[in-house]
Chain A
Amino acid sequence: MNRASIIMLHSRLRILALVGVAALQLSCSTPRRDRVVIGSKNFTESFILGELMAQEIEARTRLQVERRFYLAGTYICHQAMLAGRIDLYPEYTGTALTAILKEPASGDREQVYQLVKRAYERRFGLTLGPAFGFNDTFAMEIRGEDARRLNIKTLSQASAFAPRWRAGFGYEFMERPDGYRGLAAAYGLHFAEPPRTMDLGLLARSLKNHQIDLAAGNTTDGFIPALDLFVLDDDKHYFPPYEAVPVVREQTLQRHPEISQVLAELGGTVHDDEMQHLNYEVDSLHRDVKEVVRDFLSKKGLITSAEARP
């Protein structure tokens, strides 16, 4: 009885091992028939980009698209790519550089893009498609009326007025070494009082209501056009580039080369101000992401209304 029970245990373990190996094969590089899984992070801009790629692929190819949005962050998305759970997702070059590759932030747009692309290909079997055309990095915002009245367009020009201004920043921007501290050093910014730390959601309103005169936001924030805010140009290139790019599995491209073409078509089609507007429509006007993207793609002539799938 003892021998029988030990043998039974052994064979069950062996079966489990086989199931496990099978599952690993399945989960690692699932040969999905004609299906492509697109992921995105957990905020509006990411949904929009994900939806952009999804609708374009649906319109231009025979592939079925599965959307897995709302992934919790960069690391999660990266792991999902490595495990083959998703084939494609929108990322930012600067984020890939610092958070995944753990390199120091530096360089200009083209340099960073090439660095990330090469490293991703070499290390992860992933590659980058052409950039979408906008840079979502930190934006130093002032009121539009001030920009026009003082006739300033760049941060260097603005530094002359800093001693008369009050600044407001989010917690993270204050804490990060490549945030406020580095910026102040690079441009010689000296404010009347120390900058106020406040909740991100309140920054725009405080700026509008003259409670602060300079705020740190993102270059593609929807409320920039809505509230008539002006983004000062980072003429000293202090902030690293955060170009939006599609990250895609090389295996997926091999299996479905038509995706490369779609990504090429999408390259450079969304400029900073266009992205601001798209964000605005979803966040402030509360329009459905799918509709917003469909309208955008139609307007750009990238899909016809006949091709668009409901």
Chain B
Amino acid sequence: MVSDLDLTVKSGVDVGGSMLPHPYVIKQVRKETDDTFTLMLEQRSGGPKLTFAPGQFNMVYVFGIGEIPISISGDSASSVLVHTTRAVGTVTRVMARLRRGDMLGIRGPFGTPWPVQEGRGRDVVIIAGGIGLAPLRSALYEVLSQRDAFGKVVLLYGTRTPSDILFREELEQWRARFDLEVHVTVDRAQPDWRGNVGVVTTLIHKSPFDPQKTTSMICGPEIMMRFAAQELQKRGVDPDSIYLSLERNMKCGTGLCGHCQFGPYFVCKDGPVFRYSRIKDLLVKREI
């Protein structure tokens, strides 16, 4: 009998394969900075292999604690699933204590990816702020794996302080390449820092790329992305060729819970990667 105002919990296992997490095992944990860490995961034997495109994200589940969206930060050609995240909330703080052999639930991949192939035959300018380098690293991997297909490739990376710089060893390797231009800057120097000091947008106006033939991918705090996109435009880059990756609260990752709405767009499916020209006007509206 269905009672009035039936508030009993309905049970619906297999409510949708998309809401059930798949088990993944941690193969390696790497501490990147004080509050940022990288997990390398592999699906439990017999499980489905996840294929993704750079810029997509997974909903990552910690048993009994909760689930959060995290961008994939590894190589899409590899069988290892890589996630880099900051320990800032309940779920990520528990995640930061996990070790090799521990299990996480993965749902995904979700979202609109970086348009890496649009950069073919053009200069590619990647602008990362803080942890924004994580989802952009996947895009850079794809570009480097087909290096000849692209023109000049530039990476501009800004962080708060030198101790917040991610992927240091890789940055050094990239810097050493002749076919890649890498510039790093910090907002606030520490005493022994001899590199650039200043916000990442200051690196744009003197960067060697052809504004008429450039595809740019930007990820970082929203303020930084807005100002970086404007600087690119000042240099003559078409807003249709500039892409940003946005972040909003997500509970489902599949466009059903409503939380991630940004104007009429669902960041989880219309984004997280958006063409700048599409969202330009929304970005400057407060609390939209």
Question: Are these two chains actual partners, yes or no?
Answer: no
Q: Which B residues form the contact surface with A (CB < 8 A)?
A: none
